[in-house]
């Protein structure tokens, strides 16, 4: 029976009748900028950052924070943060701390680098990170109108090339419905990902957040999402494909998660109630990991 892994990283507390033993301290999400971001993207407006542990509020370096987290049982961190106007998360000054966290604490390190430049990618390679989690966008208008970036699809493909050249494990994310609920560049993004080395593919879905310009936007219908799940599975037959943290809440979440199981995806973050049992019924063996998609301990 094939495995399916259910993930519950410490980004938020999570509990269902089927996933009752989450240890949120095992894998912690850290923002090196707190809630500050120069982009204020249409779908986020820094709200995602607000749920992370803010490094600027901690009295010490990133390595000091990792030591404090290790004392509480942490085994790894996701390092994220707001972007500058070029779409880069300011990681350079923290690279020595990441190297120490890896070598001295044995931490699993996932990083959201945004659109990292050559120097940053070289540093991530030296830190031997577990994965660089990069949003891949396949539509120029979406990059401008949603992310407020003066960048192009070619810039995103260049990041995939840069990561591959430095042997940094790539964990590309495709956000379905990112263009105000419309599927625009997702197929092109998948084609770009096919052409480069990758460790995992993570699919996430536009999640309308209260207080953002997209609060009233409807994500793509489940049928369209299910078609893309199947397409991604077929396009990357040997690559683990995961359904990530971000997706609509409520009753539709269960339908989305079941579609992911039906498509043969390898993992689901924060599974809806009943989805673990559904996966068993479909012939999968469930496993549980309190960390980001694809982390294996």
CATH classification at residue 78: 3.20.20.70
pLDDT value at residue 297 = 66
The answer to whether residue 76 sits within a structural domain is yes
Residue 118's pLDDT is what?
Answer: 97
Residue 278 is predicted with a pLDDT of 97
Which residues, including other chains, have CB under 8 Å from residue 102's CB and lie 6 or more apart?
A: 109, 127, 128, 129
pLDDT digits (tens, 9 = 90+) for 108-161: 999 999 999 999 999 999 999 999 999 999 999 999 999 999 999 999 999 999
What pLDDT, on a 0 to 100 scale, did the predictor assign at position 16? 85
Q: Which domain holds residue 138?
A: 10-210
| Pairing verdict, β 241-243 and 76-80 | unpaired
Domain count, the chain: 1
Asked if residue 183 belongs to a domain, the reply is: yes
pLDDT in tens, 34-71: 999 999 899 998 888 898 999 999 999 999 999 999 99
Any domain includes 91: yes
* Side-chain-side CA neighbours of residue 227 (13 Å): 7
């Amino acid at each position: 029976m094939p495995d399916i892994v259910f993930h519950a990283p410490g980004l938020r507390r999570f509990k269902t009748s089927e996933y009752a033993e989450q240890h949120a301290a095992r894998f912690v999400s850290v923002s090196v900028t707190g809630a500050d971001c120069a982009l204020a993207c249409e779908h986020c407006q820094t709200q995602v950052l607000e749920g992370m542990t803010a490094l600027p509020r901690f009295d010490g370096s990133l390595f000091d924070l990792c030591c404090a987290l290790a004392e509480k049982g942490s085994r790894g961190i996701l390092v994220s943060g707001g972007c500058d106007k070029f779409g880069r998360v300011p990681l350079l000054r923290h690279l020595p701390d990441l190297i120490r966290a890896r070598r001295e604490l044995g931490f699993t390190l996932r990083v959201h680098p945004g659109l990292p430049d050559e120097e940053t990618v070289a540093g991530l390679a030296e830190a031997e990170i577990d994965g660089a989690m990069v949003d891949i966008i396949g539509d120029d208008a979406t990059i401008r109108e949603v992310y407020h970036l003066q960048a192009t699809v070619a810039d995103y493909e260049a990041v995939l090339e840069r990561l591959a050249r430095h042997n940094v494990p790539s964990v590309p994310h495709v956000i379905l419905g990112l263009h105000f609920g419309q599927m625009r560049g997702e197929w092109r993004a998948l084609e770009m990902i096919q052409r480069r080395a990758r460790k995992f593919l993570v699919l996430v879905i536009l999640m309308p957040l209260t207080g953002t310009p997209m609060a009233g936007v409807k994500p793509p219908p489940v049928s369209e999402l299910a078609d893309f799940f199947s397409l991604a599975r077929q396009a990357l037959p040997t690559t683990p494909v995961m359904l990530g943290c971000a997706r609509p809440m409520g009753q539709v979440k269960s339908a989305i998660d079941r579609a992911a199981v039906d498509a043969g995806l390898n993992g689901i973050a924060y599974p809806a109630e009943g989805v673990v049992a559904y996966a068993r019924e479909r012939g999968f063996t469930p496993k549980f990991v309190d960390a980001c998609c694809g982390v294996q301990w």
